[in-house]
Amino acid sequence: MIAHRTSLRNKAALVATLALLAAAGCHKKQAAPPPPAAMAPQTVAPPTASITADPMTIDLGQSVVLNWRTTNATSVSIDGIGQVPVNGTQTVSPSSSTNFHLVATNEGGTTEANVRVTVRVPEVPAAPVSNTSSADEFHSHVQDIFFAFDSYDLSSDAKASITTAAAYLNAHPTIKILIGGYCDDRGSAEYNITLGENRANAAKTALVAAGIDGSRIRVVSYGKEKQFCTEETESCWQQNRRDQFSVDQ
Amino acid sequence: MSIRMFQPEPAARRHRLFRPAAVLLLLSLLPAASPLLAQDWVHLTAGNNNSEIRLAAASFRPVTTDPATLADKQTFDSVLFADLSNAGIFAMVSRSLAPQATPGSPSEINLAQWAQAPPSAAMVAFGNISIQNGNLIANGFLDDTRNSQYPQVFAKQYTGPAGDQTARELAHQFADDIIFRLSGGTPGISESKIFYSQRMGNGVKEIWMMDYDGANKLQLSHLGQDSISPAVSPDDSVVAFSALTHDGFELRMYSLLLGRIVHFINIGSANVSPAWSPSGQQLAFSSSRSGSSEIWISDPQGALSHRITNYGGLDVSPSWNPKTGTQIAFVSGRTGLPQLYIMDEDGSGVTRMTDGGYATSPSWSPNGQFIAFAWDRHYGPGAPGGQDIYVMEVATKRWIQLTHDIGRCDFPTWSPDGRHIAFANSPDGRDNHNRIVSMLADGTQRQVLTGYGADMPDWSWK
């Protein structure tokens, strides 16, 4: 199948790339009088590109032949393979479903083409949740909470954070979380481990009360064994008196 | 500067806490101008009075004169002198005061020379040392200079494969025999060990052991985890400790006989601060397996575990009364900041011992009379004072402060003879600057035993 049409996101990237190129070009040519910017697209047309895969769907361990054709391109690359001839074929054996993304470039611009090869893995893998965008989303909804000195009571701010977190976790039932309990570095190490444990358990209890299955939550107290901030100041101690939430892999 | 008594109870009463005959002075020195920054300074002076036996340790006479013998003799002499000095019950005769002749046997010693000034020794330890067939042989004698008819207290031969390590061990054995004879039957501690947690790198601590004087440091665990709170069993066979795993802190058992980790049942949640009963048949620890941190007791494999506290709040750091085996001191945050408590081993008879501040890390003395612990009596942001080592008499709740102005102190642990306390000290208060320090149980004769990164000492039971 030919995937000639670039996505909206790719177009945006293309525009950004062109803008960057234009900016860089202007900078270099400050000494000489610049040629009219409109001249470039008229002299060189952007390349055309297409890429196909045969077959489109394989079982894990089988191979697939990629076949790509471009015109007017000076440079062609495929993500994960690198620089390739302007026209060619290659046999690949991806271990998971892969988007092969081809970029063809000349002075007139950049053209992209995509083909997706689906790999059937014997057991159905869990939906991966660890990519950057979903991690950001997680941390924007499930925020670390902070505690008063020698306390594992949830403040009103912490309770509000837990409510937000519970709503997010209820909406994403496949996500498991790790709650790490931390203490500032004053006081005794052993006592602080129990204090951190109770801090983490306080958050777990509140999440369970809000309808989250307790089996989705792992609790680890780090006491004062790990520190976010090592200055001996109140603001730093406050940073360390926390429950840290993260996606449990 | 004014000088006044600060303690509420009469000084005479306090004298009986430690080394009864040796205490001369108990004063509280307070800069009058800065009452807010005041700490209690309880100064006990162990003086050069007649209560300490004046003991001379003569240089041993080398029978063979090869370099190996001389090197081992050097080690033997210095370790013996240090052990006897460390014991805290002798006034040691300075080497420079000893008579010129080096006695190697009872027939060679002129006791009158040792008895008169300047050495004025009441007892003399002396002997000879040699290497024969690859074995280091030390013949040690202890003589009473004032008993002209039967001066010999004891004579004993010590032997082992030649080498620096053996020289150290033989000196420890001779010192312990002397201490045993002259201290009223309390065995010496020269052969005891201190277990501790050593920072190895970022986030990794391993369990180590060393001799009581800081020599022969040896790494035991190799888990690559955060391993803390070692507790050696009364028979020196296993070390219990706590290590940070995927599921939080779990208890671990390291066999000193097998040289590896052995089985221990874990239930998940935070399991910390193991402590052995004096029988070695039970382990007390803090676990949050029931949802809140409570004191639990199990057998040495982690089986038959049962909870003995049930109060909510935080309960941690148990320490058995080694004398009775029926009481446990522990730390609880049930009323706010952590305080020192004691209870019976079935969880009954809970009694609060401290009246405020931030009290942690109890260690019950071998004779059952005292509890050493770390205490910051004015704890809180911006509060004056620091975290120091204190000792409390259990029966009366009277306490005494042992460390002053040396930075943060924590994790006191008693020597087997109850005359010494080792603890972790961070001069600038930073956790990674902890090192292990020992002192006499009256706070004197502090000795730094390790470099930075060593924490949570646990002194062996014998």
Handedness of CA B307, B310, B312, B316 (dihedral sign): negative
How many folded domains does chain A comprise? 2
pLDDT surpassing 60 at residue B399: yes
- CB distance A191–B226 less than 8 Å? no
Residue B6 has what pLDDT? 34
* Whether B116 contacts B122, CB under 8 Å: no
Q: What is the mean pLDDT of residues B23-30?
A: 33
- In this structure, the answer to whether residues A15 and A93 fall within a common structural domain is yes
B362 and B409 housed in the same domain: yes
pLDDT band of A54, cuts 50, 70, 90: confident
Q: Given this model, what pLDDT does residue B40 score?
A: 52
Residue of chain B whose alpha carbon sits nearest to that of A195? B314
Whether A112 is covered by a domain: the verdict is yes
Distance from CA of B316 to the nearest CA of A (A): 6
What pLDDT is recorded for position B282? Answer: 97
Same domain, B21 and B68: no
Mean pLDDT of B258-276: 94
* Helices marked H in A64-188: 132-141, 156-171
**Residue count (chain A):** 249
Decide if pLDDT at B435 tops 50. Answer: yes
Q: What is the distance, to the nearest Å, from the Cα of residue B99 to the centroid of all Cα atoms in its chain? A: 34
- Which band of pLDDT confidence, cut at 50, 70 and 90, is reported for residue A98? confident
CATH assignment of the domain containing B228: 2.120.10.30
Say if B188 falls within a structural domain. no
Confirm if B268 and B288 have CB atoms less than 8 A apart: no
| Least confident window among A68-72, B58-62, B268-272 | A68-72
Question: Would you say residue A137 lies in a domain?
Answer: yes
Query: Nearest Cα to B183, choosing from B88, B45, B119, B92?
Result: B88
What is the rounded average pLDDT of the residues B149-156?
A: 95
Asked whether residue A29 falls in the same domain as residue A63, the answer is yes
Last residue of a domain, one of B131, B163, B182: B182
Q: Within 13 A of B168's CA, how many CA atoms are on the CB side?
A: 12
Shared domain for A14 and A89, answered yes or no, is: yes
The mean per-residue pLDDT over the stretch A75-86 comes to 84
- Radius of gyration for the alpha carbons in chain A, expressed in angstroms and rounded: 27
Given this model, what pLDDT does residue B8 score? 37
Residue B169 in any domain: the answer is yes
Residues of chain B with a CB closer than 8 angstroms to some CB in chain A = 203, 226, 228-229, 242, 244, 246-249, 269-270, 272-273, 286, 288, 291-293, 314-317, 331, 333, 336-338, 358, 360-361, 374, 376, 379-381, 387, 410-411, 429-431, 455-456
Answer for the pair B174, B159: CB distance below 8 angstroms, yes or no: no
Looking at A74, A91, A120, the residue that finishes a domain is: A120
Interchain proximity B272–A193, CB inside 8 Å: yes
Q: Domain containing B296: what range?
A: 193-459
The answer to whether residue A10 scores a pLDDT higher than 60 is no
Q: Which domain holds residue A168?
A: 132-247
Do the Cβ atoms of A194 and B286 come within 8 Å? yes
Range name among A62-76, B69-83, B195-209, B445-459 with the lowest pLDDT average: A62-76
CB contact under 8 A, B410 and A193: no
> Are residue B178 and residue B197 in the same domain, yes or no?
no
CA quadruple A178, A184, A187, A192: dihedral, nearest 10: 0
Instruction: Compute the average pLDDT of residues B281-287.
Output: 97
Q: Are B181 and B152 in contact (CB under 8 A)?
A: no
Q: How far is A145 from chain B (nearest CA, A)?
A: 19
Nearest chain B CA: its distance from A150 CA (Å): 7
> Would you call A149 and B381 a contact, using CB atoms and an 8 Å cutoff?
yes
Q: Do B156 and B119 reside in the same domain of the chain?
A: yes
Domain boundary among A59, A89, A120: A120
**What number is the average pLDDT over the span B347-360?**
95
- Give the pLDDT of residue A42: 55
On whether both A174 and A115 belong to a single domain, the answer is no
Percent of chain A with pLDDT over 90: 38
Q: Are A237 and A158 within one domain? A: yes
- For chain A, give the mean pLDDT: 80
Same domain, A24 and A106: yes
Residue B197 pLDDT level (bands cut at 50, 70, 90) = very high
Instruction: State yes or no: pLDDT of B190 exceeds 60.
Output: yes
Question: Cβ A150–B336 below 8 Å, yes or no?
Answer: yes
Residue B187 lies inside a defined structural domain of this protein: no
Q: In the listed set B28, B46, B64, which residue is the last one of a domain according to the structure?
A: B46
Judge if B417 and B325 occupy the same domain. yes
Are B158 and B230 found together in one domain?
A: no
Using an 8 Å Cβ cutoff, are B402 and B439 in contact? yes
pTM of the model: 0.76
Does B226 map to a domain? yes
Please tell me whether residues B131 and B200 are part of one structural domain.
no
Domain check: are B23 and B120 in the same one? no
- Residue B213 has a pLDDT of 96
Residues A96 and A196 in one domain: no
**The residue count for chain B:** 462
Compute the nearest-CA separation of A188 from chain B (Å).
7
Strand runs labelled E in B107-245: 123-132, 135-144, 152-161, 193-201, 204-211, 218-219, 227-232, 238-245
User: B178, B179, B175, B54: which is closest to B118 by C-alpha?
Assistant: B54
Q: Look at residue A60 and tell me if it is in a domain.
A: yes
pLDDT of residue A123: 57
Q: Give the dihedral of Cα atoms B28, B34, B388, B47; nearest 10 deg.
A: -30
Nearest to B19 by CA among B419, B311, B334: B419
Which tens digit of pLDDT belongs to each residue from A226-243?
A: 889 888 888 999 999 999
Rounded average pLDDT over A80-107: 84
CB-based contact B286 A234, cutoff 8 Å = no
> Helices A156-171 and A132-141: crossing angle, nearest 10°?
140
pLDDT higher than 90, residue A29: no
Cross-chain residue pair B292–A201, CB shorter than 8 Å: yes
Lowest model confidence (mean pLDDT) among B43-47, B199-203, B222-226, B239-243: B43-47
Which tens digit of pLDDT belongs to each residue from A184-213?
988 889 999 999 999 999 999 999 999 999
Sorting pLDDT into bands at 50, 70 and 90, what band is B38? very low
What pLDDT does residue B180 have? 95
Which residue in A147, A194, A235 has the most chain B C-beta atoms within 10 A of its own C-beta, making it the best mutation to test that interface? A194
3-state DSSP call for residue B419?
Answer: coil
| In a shared domain, residues A102 and A148 | no
Q: Does residue A125 lie within any of the structural domains?
A: no
In a domain, A142, yes or no: yes
Same domain for B323 and B260?
yes
CATH at A49: 2.60.40.10
Q: What is the pLDDT of residue A20?
A: 45
CA–CA gap between residue A217 and residue A179 (Å, rounded): 7
CATH of the domain at A192: 3.30.1330.60
Q: Report how many domains make up chain B.
A: 3
A81 inside domain: yes
Give the model's pLDDT for residue A131.
54
pLDDT of residue A107: 84
CA B250 to chain centre: 26
> Quick one: B147 and B198 in the same domain?
no
In a domain, B401, yes or no: yes
Shared-domain flag, residues B445 and B314: yes
pLDDT, tens only, B291-337: 889 999 999 999 999 999 998 789 999 999 999 999 999 999 999 99
Last-in-domain residue among A89, A120, A151: A120
Q: Which residue has the tokens 């040629």?
A: A35
Q: How confident is the model at residue A75 (pLDDT cuts 50, 70, 90)?
A: confident
Model confidence over B204-228: pLDDT tens digits?
A: 999 999 999 999 999 999 999 999 9
In a domain, B436, yes or no: yes
Closest by Cα among B434, B424, B281 to B345? B281
**Token digits for A141?**
């909804």
Residue A1 lies in a domain: no
**Alpha carbons B176 and B418: distance in angstroms, whole number:** 15
Q: Is the pLDDT of residue A133 over 60?
A: yes
Instruction: Calculate mean pLDDT across residues A74-87.
Output: 85
pLDDT for residue A102: 86
Distance from CA of A12 to the nearest CA of B (A): 43
Q: Clarify whether residues A223 and A139 are in a common domain.
A: yes
> Which pLDDT score is estimated for A26?
44
Q: What is the pLDDT of residue A9?
A: 52
User: What is the rounded average pLDDT for all residues in chain B?
Assistant: 89
Q: Cα(B39)–Cα(A55) distance, rounded to whole angstroms? A: 82
Q: What is the DSSP string of A159-218?
A: HHHHHHHHHHHHH-TT--EEEEEE--SSS-HHHHHHHHHHHHHHHHHHHHHTT--GGGEE
> DSSP 3-state assignment of B422?
strand
Tell me, what's the pLDDT at B37?
42
pLDDT (0 to 100) of residue B25:
34
Determine the pLDDT at residue B5: 31
In a domain, A62, yes or no: yes
Let me know whether B285 and B359 are in one domain.
Answer: yes
Partner residue facing B272 (CB), from A194, A220, A237? A194
| pLDDT for position B54 | 95
Q: Are the beta carbons of B221 and B254 closer than 8 angstroms?
A: yes
Same domain membership, residue A49 and residue A102: yes
Cα(B354)–Cα(B265) distance, integer angstroms = 34
Residue B330: per-residue pLDDT: 98
Given a cut of 70, whether residue B12 has pLDDT beyond it is no
Written as six digits, the tokens of A83 are: 């620089």
Three-state helix/strand/coil letters over B252-277: EEEECCCCEEECCCCCCCCEEEEEEC
Burial B356-376 (b: 16+ CB within 10 A, else e): ebbbbbbbbbbebbbbbbbbb
Give me the residues of A, 169-208, that contact B with CB < 8 A: 185, 187-191, 193-198, 201
DSSP string, B164-180: HHHHHHHHHHHHHHHHH
- CATH number of the domain where residue B163 is located: 3.40.50.10070
Q: Two tokens at B363?
A: 């260690």
Percent of chain B with pLDDT over 70: 89
A227 and A165 in a common domain: yes
